[in-house]
Structure 1
């Protein structure tokens, strides 16, 4: 039977404190692999080989100014623990078949903070850009992704993708 997944809402946390209703949008980083082009004698085509992970950047848009958020976001030398908790619904031909939690935790430092956009008769918005050094994503309590730039850890669905590379470099 065919199934469709949907996520319609989420809660944002900073250092374990819920920011319910304060974020208008939370953009997680795009996980992008840098690619190195390879051409060789005898090869008709050019291929790209993965050579690392690009810097991870995300953004939060706040629906107003919150001093407690600004106090953490304006400190570029202190990492915070960001967390997004979402409800993943699975639908099939009979309707809602299952609901599980999706939790994404990000160790981040803020790098850019918009002081606000103000327009007449419109609510102000304030965005914060962050750099992520560690990401952990769990679905229904099962870790599906773990990445740590400082320790060269990259685990996908329980498989340590960089284990051999770490052994080869003596780490």
Structure 2
């Protein structure tokens, strides 16, 4: 039985398809968190939590300096833009590096918080921004792993349309 270990150690950020290579220090791929409803029913020994939807999705980017073209996109919270993270997913086994696959996360986002900065002597200014995610699609080696589009009521996991019946039932 062979054990495979995955590792991601670097990535590049794109805004509306334009590379920001070397400008971002960190990107926060959003947590996906679900709303849960407590259910207590006659005959049940305990209370169970059942899913009722997804919570608002937020992520962020930490920039290593001030980039006017980036700030121009961020300063208007009424205009969404595409934020993309492309990373190299390395797969290691007992013989070493066994494979490298592209991992791509594409998000439709709007600004929530545009970070200011502290300017210190002989230190580079950093800018930390937070954004709301309206859709997120994540693929590995071209295979869709996750797709959520809040406006369109789409939620797919590993290519399976989780909300297909829900959309039909609500007349969408």
TM-score, length-scaled by structure 1: 0.98
Alignment correspondent of 1:145: 146
Q: Residues 72-107 of structure 1, C-alpha deviation per residue, up to 9 Å, x if partnerless?
A: 010101100000000000000000000010000000
Length, aligned pairs only: 171
Unpaired segments of 5 or more residues in structure 1?
none
Alignment correspondent of 1:160: 161
| Distance across 2 between alignment mates of 1:32 and 1:85 | 22
Q: CA deviation at 1:122?
A: 1.5
Alignment correspondent of 2:78: 77
Structure 1 counterpart SS, 2:168 = helix
Superposed counterparts of 1:1-171, under 5 Å: 1-171=2-172
| Distance across 1 between alignment mates of 2:91 and 2:44 | 45
| Distance across 2 between alignment mates of 1:20 and 1:56 | 25
Q: CA deviation at 1:118?
A: 1.7
Note the aligned Cα RMSD (angstroms). 0.7
Structure 1 runs of 4+ aligned residues shifted over 4 Å read none
Unpaired segments of 5 or more residues in structure 2?
none
TM-score, length-scaled by structure 2: 0.97
Q: Residues 4-31 of structure 1, C-alpha deviation per residue, up to 9 Å, x if partnerless?
A: 0000000000000000110011001110
Structure 2 counterpart SS, 1:20 = coil
Q: CA deviation at 1:120?
A: 2.4
